Amino acid sequence: MSKDYTFNPGDFVVYPAHGVGQVTEIQKTAVAGQDLELIAINFNKDKLTLRIPKPNAQKTGLRQISSASIMDEALNTLKGKAKIKRTQWGKRSQEYMAKINSGDPVAVAEVLRDLYKDPNKSEQTYSERQIYDQAMARLVSEYAVVKKVKEDEAAVKLASILQSKVSA
């Protein structure tokens, strides 16, 4: 993943806790008598604008959108065999959420791969479905920006990759 911590208005970025957003501006403001540069990021889906002090961008995990090669690695991960640990669901769900919130598309793809169930054969529990949907939303939004497609096209592509594992 890119370790470039320069952000400009119009750039798409990934903030681990919220997913893909777009930098709207770099604003200078005075806080407690100190001048501070803030990166303003808009998350359209969540109707949220987040302002992060520029010096803290790296610590918070804010990063540029993944490269095409990283996204291809994530897609290859989706094609792999599920690796489900034989631990209690509570512990696994925490691990899945940590992967989703890491902001790493390959880790998010691992969650999707492990939680995917053939819709024609088995059901997911409510909590599995919630985590699966959150992981799918994160990967779809970044895939759409990287591949320059609409999110619904990205969702169809990712779902077809997962479905092809079942029919293979």
To the nearest whole number, what is the mean pLDDT of the chain? Answer: 89
Dist. CA 75–CA 79, nearest whole Å: 7
* 3-class DSSP assignment, residue 88: coil
- Tens of pLDDT, residue by residue over 13-71, are 999 888 899 999 999 988 888 888 999 999 988 789 999 999 888 888 899 999 999 99
User: What pLDDT does 2 receive?
Assistant: 42
pLDDT band at 82 (very low <50, low <70, confident <90, very high): confident
Contacts of 24 (CB under 8 A, 6+ apart): 9, 40, 41, 42, 49
Task: Walk me through the domains of the chain, giving residue ranges and CATH numbers.
Answer: 12-64 (2.40.10.170), 68-167 (1.20.58.1290)
Q: DSSP state, 67?
A: P
Structure tokens at 115: 């939680």
pLDDT at 4: 55
Cβ–Cβ < 8 Å for 142, 66: yes
* Residues whose CB falls within 8 Å of the CB of residue 41, separated by 6 or more in sequence, listed in order: 13, 15, 21, 22, 23, 24, 49, 50, 51, 52, 62
pTM to 2 decimal places = 0.86
Q: What is the pLDDT of residue 66?
A: 92
Q: Percent of the chain beyond pLDDT 70?
A: 93
